Amino acid sequence: MVNNQGLQKILIIGAGHNDIGREGQHDAAVIQIGAAIHKLGIAVVLVDNNAYSVAAENNFADRVYVEPLTVAGLSRVIEAEQPDGLIPSLGGLHAVSLIQGLIRTNVLKNNHVRLLQWDSEIIDMIVNPALMSNRLKAIGEPVIASQVVASDVEALAVVRSIGFPVIVKSVAPRIEASRQLCKDQEDLARALAMGFKVSATKQCIVEQSIVGCKELEFVGVRDKKDMALLISGMENFDPVGIHSADSIVFAPTQTITDQEYQQFRAATLKIMRRLRINGSCHVQFALDPNTQHYYVIKVTPYFDRAMALAARATGYPLARVVANLMADISLAELKLPSDYRKQTALIEPVLDHIVCRIPVWPFNVLKKVSHQLDTVTESTGSVIGIGRSTEEALLKGLRSTDESRYHVIANRPQNYSEGELIQRLIHPQAGRMLVLLEALNRGYQIDELAELTKIDAFYFYKLQHIIEIEKALWARPFDVHALGRAKYFGFTDEDAADAWHTDVKKVHQFALENEIHATFKEVEPTAGEFTEQTNTYYSTYEFDNESQPQAGRPVVVIGTGANRIGTNHGNDYLVSQLLFYLRKADYQPILINANPNSVAMTPRLATKRYVEPKQYSDILNILAIEKPELIFTTYHDYRLGQQLSADGYSVVQINNNLPREQIKTNDSPAVEVISDGMDVAVFGVSEIIAGNNLRTNVRGSLQVFPIRDKAENQAIKALSAEIKRRVLAFGVPGLYTVRLTIVDDQLQLATIEPMSIATMALISKAVGSSVTRLLLHVKLGEPLSKVMYDYPDISALNTVYVQANTFPYNQLQIYDADEVTGEPSHATGTVIAHGETLKAALTALGSGNEDTDF
Amino acid sequence: MQKEVVDSMAMKRALTRITYEIIEQNKGVRNVVLVGIKTRGVYLAERIAARLEQLEGAQIPVGELDITAFRDDQPKDDQAPSSYQLAFSVADKRVVLVDDVLYTGRTIRAALDALMGGGRPQSIALAVLVDRGHRELPIRADFIGKNIPTALQERIKVSVTEVDGRDGVEIIN
Amino acid sequence: MADRYLILEDGSAYLGEGFGSPAVSTGEIVFNTSMTGYQEIITNQIYHNQIIAFTQPTIGSYGINHDSYESILPTVKGVVVRDVASISTNRQRRWSLDQYLKQQNIPGISHIDTRHLAKQLRASGPMKASIVDVADAHAFDQLGATVLTNRQVAAVATPKPFPNPGTGLNVVVVDFGLKHGILRELSKRACNVTVLPYTATTDEIINLDPDGVILSTGPGKPQDLPESVLTMIQAIQKRVPLFAIGLGHELFAMANGATIIKLAPEHHGANHPIREVITNQIIYASQGQGFAVNPDSVDRDKMITTFVDLIDGTIQGLRLRDFPAFSVQFFPDGAPGPTETRDIFNEFVESMQQARGPMW
């Protein structure tokens, strides 16, 4: 299929470093969309400064620029590359504002770069929500009424027309001011007095309050010919007032009627048509459950977590389809790969499973953050549970968060007082599920809880059911029916083992003896009406199992799961690359992962995916079907790996970690090496420098590679025999970092440790070739001579790369000096830059990141 | 004051119905040609032709007619061309004239004058998107998208995507 | 809840849990892939004497609402689900699904592997099935011996005319097992409606001086209806604008010389892309169809195909070349399902207005 606009080269702006609310979903989209566009015969140029971008390696793009994400940086790339088109929707909000800059400075016009997908006015509407709101109003979609006022009289006039409750916000506040919910005139007077006082302009915004409404999210696609269809409707468990990224979300919708559903479907398609959005679009709605009246809260035409969830939940090839739409190929014309039906792009997805997305918070690491959930995102990521009932999806989702004992706690009484319980019900905190279960356990009535929490009563019936099942499980040790029912609704052998005071293996054995088998079902978009091959499965306990072992050499790779704070997505980068190179090495990699935003979930990386929690019994169920030659685990799952080893599986434990401790000493060099167990090869020398060399207030440290100090390199050469001896003494093939110290002006070996994933990314980006590939092959037992023969010569590098972690302190409003430390375990992202000299590299790292927490 | 009386959906529907009615009246599309009156009538004619092609698989010729020179209520401009150009002959054809608004009927009379000058069609029919009444000549449309009763001082504004970026009909007063 | 079985005529049995009525019942089983709208589906008379299996796993989560009925009394023979929801009932949501099915004496069965069932039915086509307490040889014998009625229309269509007054155009609806959505859409357009039994004669219809006539949806096989229905259609379509829906569409096609085939697999859902031929645009519509017009039997000099299902090429709409008479196979009122097709009622209204001429 030739694209319809004669496009030859397009530019994709990446999303930059990961952050609160932003995991790998953008990178995953870039990989899929970049590859699909490349297949259309269009060259793809990618600009990103995310050190852990998988799309920026492995030839996913035709040309990659690791450049600062600034208007100036992008202008240089555009001038050099002269692309025909620019894709605006893959870099999140930041990329959209950069494109606004590129339009305003005429860079696009002067270089004849066409803005694909959107009219330029969409850019302005995304950057300025008031413009979007006006536009929505103009096309007849209801939006929340809001008005700027400068006096009490004006404010009262507004309230007379929209009614209480209202939210009062200060305009341009001089201090960190919050939104005040006002239920009556007294609240209003207080809020206005405060709001005017702190406002630089002596103004407030009075806004209609929709707190307590149901929140719904709909995702659709539209092409240039105005054909549009709905991909998925999703429902937030939590009401409006809690940011949807911090809310539990179900797909499909659970509690709305067809009339309500069709109203949202029609509105979503209408908005896409009237705004002429070409591609996918996410629309958020608030629904007043009493009146069926709704409001459009937000329109997001760029790639975001809801789109990732819609794609993962339905199995609809969203990225593949959108890539074609970007190149102006219509939905009816586009061709899908042969594993999809011809018309799959045109079928509105329907589900016969339920997906539950559970947010994951950083509070286990950052202890001083308020756990209060409100309109500001605090979650670092999310996981999904897929099942055939609401209970099963919810329990599997909760288990996938890897929070210990999260799921079997329903019957453990909490010790807070009645008053505190009610407070917690009304003012929700992270991990509120336990509070809701506790309230049910204490005998609160369902309708009363629904009223207090504004959570639909339907969910409380489900929670009540979970409690009943669990109680039955506790009451009846080794009872087939109790176990069968518990597993049917999402409990595991671990839960039963816990209830029955026995060990998991015994329960597992008991279940198998009584023919309680896990059955796997395909995640596909037609609810069984047609045959599809998404190669993505989830478990349930039913009659029919659809997952069959693969031909070839199956290898199970245990994915990263929940994205935790501490640049855990670095591990996702590692897993993604393992999958990629396993496939290249003619293995059939099978991924187990429950993170919808994970790059590793990209369909072309693994040959088969299981969206499952990572508990031992879940893994055993999969292994029983797949019988893999090898199992790969990463450092998170070290204990799981040991268990599986003990069971007789061949397990390759990848022990490369993320730096645990912050190295604060300046100029501490390290030698980066690889070993096959027999021999050692040196990549080069890296160094860690204190971050305030970049600018003041930098808390973390920076890593530099390669160091080309002659004297230093010579000194290291002199140590090479000792390095080799010490690394070999380690005994295991792998990537290592040999730290050096200076004692009496002499370099000496200090410690040897597995190379951190951060360093792996740094070297891979600097050299332009992945060291994960090398790691995989030495782990598979190949000799260095075979592994390294085509690896680029590092001594020829004449560019210095620097890398820094980014932190969420500002976003989470952490100002406590004890906690604002910049240690690697607090990081949410990593940025990379380069230059001819260290100084140039540091300048590049700083540009565009002036407000980034380093 | 502007009031949208036909939205894009309704406009699409009107053109669809007119297309079916053209087939009904002509017992098919053999010998049918469409002649759009500039400017918006031409785009409407093209849309009808596209619909006929979808249904019947036949390409229906679409001509353009600029009748400014033929109108009896416009000052005569000696420089204006006294004839028009169609890419095809209308002789022995079933001509369907297409215009956006039918009002006094003078535009249509001028169009008939212009058409008759180019040979003798088998028949001429008239399709309009909007009939707003206030005829000054004995002319009626065969295919009407929408009858919109109007006051004399009101104006009807037809927008088509090709020219105006969107589809719709508004009353302006 | 008690263990019950869903048994199929091919000998397969599914163990589940009963809900709704404890009655034993038998019908033809079909699966529906709609994501919402179980109440509308259960009360749609096209499912008369059928057992409906929902692929959407949780059914009943918002209860039964007064404005979601598609008929006064549901006549389905059973409801098969993976999971039936418990909910609070209050003024707004008067009954739970379980309570409602009990009242209506309709058995339900939950905890069924509905995905496997759908795959089985996709391969086999609809089968006779029963919801029973014991899946023994006797139950299978009973199932095998049951002969399903072919008089579904007579069972569900109104025996007597009734009005649905309005102030606008005068519309006669011929009832073959009418879906309420048709009346709802006509009411929204202020039509003055008279519903006549499917046995109505041409004279009875014309004597009401209609601006247009609708042939309604209904259950069963169109060939089972008396020949007189076709004669009536042949006469009416020349006199006034005619709009035929579902079973009405199949009858309209037959009246104009086309033949009807059994559709396998059937369409029950709302997600198939359907091409509107005249604009070449794709729309989505609520479908519930076990029969289809044989495309090879359509006289192209007489009729135009207006809508086509892109999945299997089945005809979804027809139109006479010479008269303002047209039909759709799907349910243009939605309920449940996409609402974009409601515009076809506007088309019908405009056809009637056009046929009457301008009002000044």
Task: For chain C, positions 275-304, list CB contacts with chain A under 8 A.
Answer: 281-282, 284
Task: For residue A194, tell me if it sits in a domain.
Answer: yes
Residues A684 and A646 in one domain: no
Residues A505 and A618 in one domain: no
Task: For residue A642, tell me if it sits in a domain.
Answer: yes
pLDDT at B80: 47
Nearest-Cα distance to chain B for C306, in Å, is 8
Residues A315 and A435 in one domain: no
Question: What residues of B are in contact with residue C326 (Cβ under 8 Å)?
Answer: 20
Cα separation, C227 vs C233, in Å, equals 10
Contact B17 C346 (CB under 8 A): no
Q: Is residue C245 a contact partner of residue C216, using CB atoms and an 8 Å limit? A: yes
Q: Is residue A804 a contact partner of residue A700, using CB atoms and an 8 Å limit? A: yes
pLDDT at B82: 46
Residues A341 and A402 in one domain: no
CATH of the domain at A619: 3.40.50.20
Question: What residues of A are in contact with residue C83 (Cβ under 8 Å)?
Answer: 388-390
B110-132 average pLDDT score: 90
Instruction: Confirm whether C10 is a catalytic residue.
Output: no
Cα separation, B86 vs B89, in Å, equals 7
Residues A66 and A160 in one domain: no
**Which residue of the set C141, C299, C333, C343 is catalytic?**
C333
Task: For residue A596, tell me if it sits in a domain.
Answer: yes
Nearest-Cα distance to chain A for C319, in Å, is 24
Query: What's CA B73's distance to the chain center, in Å?
Result: 19
pLDDT of B170 above 80: yes
Which ipTM did the prediction report?
A: 0.97
CATH of the domain at A713: 3.30.470.20
Least confident of A396-410, A447-461, B39-53, B115-129: A396-410
Residues A312 and A386 in one domain: no
Residues A679 and A802 in one domain: yes
Nearest-Cα distance to chain C for B146, in Å, is 8
User: Which residues of C make up each annotated binding site for L-glutamine?
Assistant: 218, 220, 247, 290-291
* Closest CB to A352 among C37, C115, C340: C115
Task: For residue A755, tell me if it sits in a domain.
Answer: yes
Contacts across the A-C interface (CB distance below 8 Å):
154
Q: Does A458 touch chain C (CB under 8 A)?
A: yes
Q: Within 10 Å of residue A739's Cβ, how many Cβ atoms? A: 17
Provide the domain limits for residue A842.
668-846
Q: What is the pLDDT along chain C (360 residues), one digit of tens a residue?
A: 799 999 999 999 999 999 999 999 999 999 999 999 999 999 999 999 999 999 999 999 999 999 999 999 999 999 999 999 989 887 667 899 999 999 999 999 999 999 999 999 999 988 999 999 999 999 999 999 999 988 999 999 999 999 999 999 999 999 999 999 999 999 999 999 999 999 999 999 999 999 999 999 999 999 999 999 999 999 999 999 999 999 999 999 999 999 999 998 899 999 999 999 999 999 999 999 999 999 999 999 999 999 999 999 999 999 999 999 999 999 999 999 999 999 999 999 999 998 887 654
Q: Which residues of B touch C (CB under 8 A)?
A: 9-10, 12-14, 16-17, 19-21, 23-24, 27-28, 51, 54-55, 131, 133, 144, 146-147, 149
- Provide the b/e sequence for C110-145 (b: ≥16 CB within 10 Å): bbbbbbbbbbbbbeeebbbbbbbeebeeebbeebee
* Long-range contacts from A501-504, C-beta under 8 angstroms, 24+ separation: A502/A477, A504/A616, A504/A617
Task: For residue A134, tell me if it sits in a domain.
Answer: no
pLDDT at B75: 58
* Closest CB to C278 among B54, B133, B147: B54
- What class does CATH assign to C3-147? alpha beta
In chain C, what are the domain boundaries?
Answer: 3-147, 153-356
Q: Is residue A75 a contact partner of residue A105, using CB atoms and an 8 Å limit? A: yes
pLDDT at A427: 86
Contact A390 C273 (CB under 8 A): no
Bond preceding residue B81 cis, omega within 30 of 0: no
Cα separation, C286 vs C70, in Å, equals 13
Residues A102 and A167 in one domain: no
Task: For residue A225, tell me if it sits in a domain.
Answer: yes
The pTM of the full predicted model, rounded to 2 decimals, is 0.94
- Say which CATH topology domain C153-356 has: Rossmann fold (3.40.50)
Task: For residue A451, tell me if it sits in a domain.
Answer: yes
Q: How many domains does chain A have?
A: 6
Residues A254 and A236 in one domain: yes
Give the residue among A803, A812, A668, A671 at the shortest CA–CA distance from A737. A671
Q: Does C341 touch chain A (CB under 8 A)?
A: no
Q: Is residue C24 a contact partner of residue C7, using CB atoms and an 8 Å limit? A: no
Which CA distances in Å does B80 have to B40, B63, B70, B84, B114? 21, 19, 9, 10, 13
Contact A544 C55 (CB under 8 A): no
Give the residue among A276, A339, A232 at the shortest CA–CA distance from A120. A276
Contact B21 C280 (CB under 8 A): no
* Closest CB to C321 among B23, B51, B149: B23
Residues A225 and A301 in one domain: yes
* Closest CB to A350 among C265, C271, C335: C271
Structure tokens at A664: 């604060």
DSSP classification of residue A325: H
Question: What residues of A are in contact with residue C39 (Cβ under 8 Å)?
Answer: 258
Give the residue among A506, A455, A604, A622 at the shortest CA–CA distance from A554. A622
Helices and strands, number each (H, E), in chain A? 27, 30
Contact B13 C360 (CB under 8 A): no
Burial status of residue A807 (CB atoms within 10 A of its CB: 0-12, 13-18, 19 or more):
buried
**Can you spell out the DSSP letters for C107-167?**
EEEES--HHHHHHHHHHH-SEEEEEES--SHHHHHHHHH----S-HHHHHS-SS-EEE--S
For residue A219, the SS3 value is strand
Amino acid at A43: A
Task: For residue A303, tell me if it sits in a domain.
Answer: yes
User: Containing H/E element for A470?
Assistant: helix A457-475
B74-97 average pLDDT score: 72
Residues A634 and A689 in one domain: no
Q: Which residues of chain A are under the pLDDT cut of 70?
A: 1-5, 175-178, 375-376, 403-411, 567, 659-667, 692-697, 851
pLDDT at A471: 92
Cα separation, A238 vs A456, in Å, equals 9
Q: Is residue C314 a contact partner of residue C235, using CB atoms and an 8 Å limit? A: no
* Closest CB to B133 among C319, C322, C360: C360
